[in-house]
Structure 1
Amino acid sequence: MKATPADQQELLRLQSIDTRLQQLAHKLGALPQTAPLAELAQRETAVRGTRAEAIGALEDARSELTRLESDVAVVEARIARDTDRLQHTSSVKDVQALEAELASLAKRRSDLEDQELVVMERVEDAEVVVSSIDLQRAAIESEVAELEAERDAAAGGIGVEREQTERDREVVAAGVPAELLAFYEQRRARGAGVGAALLRQRTCGGCTMTLTGSDLEQVRRSAPDDVVQCPECDRILVRTDESGL
């Protein structure tokens, strides 16, 4: 790849800005509120999962209660129908049959009502569990809001500097040829945030390896507009009067 020495030296300015952005990101990540907020996020995720299970249990209990109420309504309708028929029949055989059925229906209704009471308790217990979980979530949300406010206040100055630094980066990056910029970004992604380094006294500023032998001769023979890379770390080596070549 070819690029003028001036354009290559602009990479050093860009790298300096990127390094500062990394430092600011580290500062933000190292704020005292960061770890507690991460822990709260994990707790909130766990509580959300527990709540989903609790809601499922509550909905199941409510569905069962609705079914039982429907069954009771059906039985009561049959009791009302048979009672009416009993009052309007003079047949002894029909009376005996209706009375037997009414007794069976009464037993069925009693059993269903007993089941209703059990399921109603399940519904109430499930509602208490959901309410308790909601209180936990509210407490977590309150703690998160408080910590975020503290973090934002502490990060205010860092945030302002980061925004200004990002604007500076846009200006410098805009002055670097697109192909060279893309190559720098590729090297930076692979080089732990460092894509270009100054070659000072034959030493790479990226990995601190000193060039010797054939590696040094290859760099010496390279044209000023050749984009050279460190044979050790593969980062772009920017040559200046300080390079010692």
Structure 2
Amino acid sequence: MPLLKASPADQALLLDLQTLDTSVQQLAHRTRSLPEIAEIAAIDKQTQALRVRLTAEEGTFEDARRELTRIESDVEIVETRVKRDRDRLQTATSTKDIQALEGELAALANRQSDLDDIQLEVMDRVEQHGAVVSATQAEIDELAVRRAAAEASKEAGLVTIEGQRQHAIADRATLAAKVPADLLALYERQRDRYGVGASHLRAGVSSASGVALNGNDLAAVRAAAPDDVLLCPDSQAVLVRTAESGI
């Protein structure tokens, strides 16, 4: 016994309604699967890894700079002592004092030479570490530019999709208003339960399930009146018969 009665034309409206509902679902899926979303996630992952690396590189760079500052301080101390001893040497009259000052100046000269070599080596390391930090920061900046472009593209895509979705929703509302209330309620109930509300029987195959009806089911369909509302035995969607149904 059929669930209810509805004209073949009214039943056929359900196929258009299902097409619109499927379109709305697909558009919702597109908003979650835009390629820019995955691109942004990948960029964020790369950026995070680079920031961790940058933190370590900046630490090494700062260590080298502190070492350079310490050496520069040592150089300044030695230069101050050299100047002091030279000034004293100019006024010294005692041979003992002169010998002591000359000995200290010789030692300071050796110390200054050693510090100069160390300073050059550390300055080189500071320059190298600074270049590494700058290169990593440049990578991060480049990713930020790429992310901004991807974000803008994503937003533009979402606006387009939302426009299409709203258009489909409006068309659906217009179409649903043409479907008899009891038939629409059945369609909505089956769609909520099973995911599909209407299935087109085409050449003996249900579009919702993609399965051909067996002999008994086809016999029952053939025996039904044109205005009988039937359900697909596999998908439980309203089974809509048309001239393409092959019955």
Length-normalised TM-score, structure 1: 0.56
Q: For 1:83-127, what per-residue CA distance to the aligned partner results, in whole angstroms no more than 9, with x for missing partners?
A: 111111111111111111111011111111111000100111011
1:95 matched to 2:83? The reply is no
Query: Within 5 Å, which residues of 2 pair with 1:15-30?
Result: 26-30=29-33
Over the residues paired in the alignment, what is the CA RMSD in angstroms?
A: 3.2
Alignment match, 1:129: 132
Q: Residue 158 of structure 1: CA displacement?
A: 4.1
Alignment match, 1:205: 193
Give the counterpart of 1:61 among 64, 67, 78.
64
Distance 1:25 1:112, change over 3 A: farther
From the CA coordinates, give the structure whose radius of gyration is larger: 2
Aligned letter for 2:193? G
Distance 1:22 1:72, change over 3 A: farther
Distance 1:99 1:156, change over 3 A: same
Distance 1:64 1:157, change over 3 A: same
Distance 1:110 1:205, change over 3 A: same
Q: In 2, Cα distance between the equivalents of 1:90 and 1:162?
A: 101
Distance 1:205 1:120, change over 3 A: same
Aligned letter for 2:55? A
Alignment match, 2:144: 141
Q: For 1:112-146, what per-residue CA distance to the aligned partner results, in whole angstroms no more than 9, with x for missing partners?
A: 11110001001110111111112211221121111
Q: Residue 153 of structure 1: CA displacement?
A: 0.8
Alignment match, 2:42: 39
Alignment match, 1:81: 84
Aligned letter for 2:90? Q
Length-normalised TM-score, structure 2: 0.55
**Gaps (5+ residues) in structure 1?**
1-20, 164-199, 208-245
**Gaps (5+ residues) in structure 2?**
1-23, 167-188, 196-247
